[in-house]
Structure 1
């Protein structure tokens, strides 16, 4: 396969910022270049708004299609909010959109993510100079689409939700190009696509990447998500979308943390679930402390939407809505769970939290990396009130205790099993 002219140069200019960065991480990989080259002839013949990009990590696909193939009105879905921001930042960096337009789109997306509506509190249908627009994974994203580029997610549930949505809402003649790194691809991905498309094929490998092509959408069935789960240790049901961490279950780390929740800062009335996933920690805290205000925050759209559903089903979703701005010390707070799709603790004022619950990820994308957890722990120092508590669970081999003690304050171990450790740290 011949690489698309200019693709390597464009990708090399991309940055991960404001996403977590490290010397061993990059903003693109060979899959981006392979997808653009494979779909180039199809994309060049499209009209405005007929190209959709799903899972673009930092903008390589969207900006490559715009700058190298002339695509306009590209509709984009990215589950992580930092992916959306990196796309807009890179568009400005490359001169594809004006920096002011990118800043305006950032502001619009942030405002939308904090709007508590029944339709979708996390949708961000904001435009950037007619080049691209960010959307939720819904009909508005896909209606009228003739070509869809997909960076394959690691999880089969996430792929199933994407495939169902494309088959349900895109044009009957839609062509889907779904690419990934060969080491992360399995035959099960072909099987998932084949449930929703009559023709699925695989291209040749190139630089350890491969593209699957899917055509002829099958007749759509009922929506497969959200899914609901129950657990004997919970007195409420748990919701999950395809990309929600842990699915509709109680993961082992959260189970260990919940076993000691009653002893975690028992008088705390301002609680944060940082990286809320499906919402089990936030909802458990709200149900055990009916007068408490609980802010649940996660950069994943799938997590924020799942937490909102879990809290609503459990009867603890804040009636005041997420537009309520947390107040300062002593200010009255409406009780219940308020959900934000946000980066780390940016939705929480300085010194607001009396208790933060944290089950941090140990990877960024497909790469195992402790840097994300380090970043979240550092954010807790700012958001915790003096004397406030961080209750954190993590894989024991990661050894976070020295970091937690250095950043937050005096730390003690409150639980440990064969895999996980729970620490309680008091803010100096």
Structure 2
């Protein structure tokens, strides 16, 4: 287990779910830079502090220890990630923090009414940053200290323009270990209101040639959801090759995003029972609104923010549809896909099927054969493949991390 050393102590930190074989740490140089700045300046040790985008809880875990020693008040984390919030809770417990040391909010929860110190870990999604700055602007006052952090490659001119337009004059620090700090001086309340209305969530009409009964339908995307302003080409290809004639099957849209894949199944298969699941609160909120709008309030469906299908009963699903991500923040990895595939096999009934779309170069057919013992090519074009794997009785289920028994 990796340990983060700060001026306030050393903290054992993991991502979630904890996996001793995962080489990725639960913090990076940007987190260290911000924590060092806070320790040197004494910022964040008093007043109401809100931390946005703390990826695995490194920031609030260290701050909770410092603030407990100082007898400080409210400390709030705001996150769109179920995995990130779960990691935060585990890291806080491991550090010995009191259960009420940090208030854990999602991006769908009302933000704090007052913020004296606002700390922002710049997210990968510029849209999510814009949405969160707009949502928090009313809580900011002229004495609020605002500090952002990110790796140099994550901080662009457009990033700084958002801070400046929504909150006030902004500058950056020198780079340390390829990380920077962002310092913003809040403008007056009237100046912040002049930034205009929050453009999120975004609504747009799907193109007239969208497949699977979706042509022309208006969908909603909360900020931060993948491909928020259009139908991405991978999903479009998947929609052309979805299984048909599934009847009363229980279907899981795993990593659902805005839910258009599951929605397409619901429109084509009126007897199917749908489960939409994603680790993003923004994504599941989008999927639910789109489903209710186009499939009707009386249609049976479940909407779950969670760790894939980990909380779904074994052998309770007939069909899993999946367009897995291959990035974890800035890291390119197939770790998430492997875990999703293993989850799918655990959740599927014997004879149940996992259908996957992915870029050709990712080699998902190899991973599927390791986990399921089989993989079939359903469709392909120069960029994408649609693959099918069937749960058979003879293949042993892989481990929870997505790495099958005996693979190493």
TM class, shorter-chain normalised?
A: 0.7 to 0.9
Question: Residues 293 and 54 from structure 1, CA distance in 2 versus in 1: closer, same or farther, beyond 3 angstroms?
Answer: same
Does the CA-based 8 Å contact 2:81-2:279 persist in structure 1?
yes
Matched, 1:198 2:199: no
1:374 Cα shift?
Answer: 0.6
| Counterpart residue number, 1:152 | 122
| Counterpart residue number, 1:89 | 90
Question: Residues 264 and 361 from structure 1, CA distance in 2 versus in 1: closer, same or farther, beyond 3 angstroms?
Answer: farther
CA distance in 1 between partners of 2:108 and 2:16 (Å): 27
CA distance in 1 between partners of 2:160 and 2:305 (Å): 31
Does the CA-based 8 Å contact 1:148-1:175 persist in structure 2?
yes
Matched, 1:266 2:246: yes
1:305 Cα shift?
Answer: 1.1
1:19 Cα shift?
Answer: 5.3
Does the CA-based 8 Å contact 2:50-2:77 persist in structure 1?
yes
What TM-score, normalized to structure 1?
0.82
Matched, 1:378 2:353: no
1:7 Cα shift?
Answer: 4.3
Matched, 1:254 2:235: yes
Question: Residues 5 and 399 from structure 1, CA distance in 2 versus in 1: closer, same or farther, beyond 3 angstroms?
Answer: closer
| Counterpart residue number, 2:405 | none
Question: Residues 150 and 308 from structure 1, CA distance in 2 versus in 1: closer, same or farther, beyond 3 angstroms?
Answer: same
| Counterpart residue number, 2:398 | none
Instruction: For CA contacts below 8 A with separation 6 or more, give which structure has more relative contact order.
Output: 1
CA distance in 2 between partners of 1:424 and 1:238 (Å): 28
| Counterpart residue number, 1:66 | 64
CA distance in 2 between partners of 1:176 and 1:88 (Å): 24
Q: Give ranges in structure 2 of 5+ residues lacking alignment.
A: 393-408
1:27 Cα shift?
Answer: 0.6
What is the number of equivalent residue pairs in this alignment? Answer: 374
Matches within 5 A, 1:49-128: 50-69=48-67, 70=70, 71-97=72-98, 128=99
Matched, 1:241 2:222: yes
Matched, 1:169 2:142: no
CA distance in 2 between partners of 1:351 and 1:248 (Å): 36
What TM-score, normalized to structure 2?
0.86
1:183 Cα shift?
Answer: 2.1
Does the CA-based 8 Å contact 1:274-1:356 persist in structure 2?
yes
Q: 1:359 aligns with which of 323, 336, 339?
A: 323
**RMSD between superposed Cα atoms in Å:** 2.2
Q: Which runs of 4+ in 1 moved over 6 A?
A: none
| Counterpart residue number, 2:395 | none
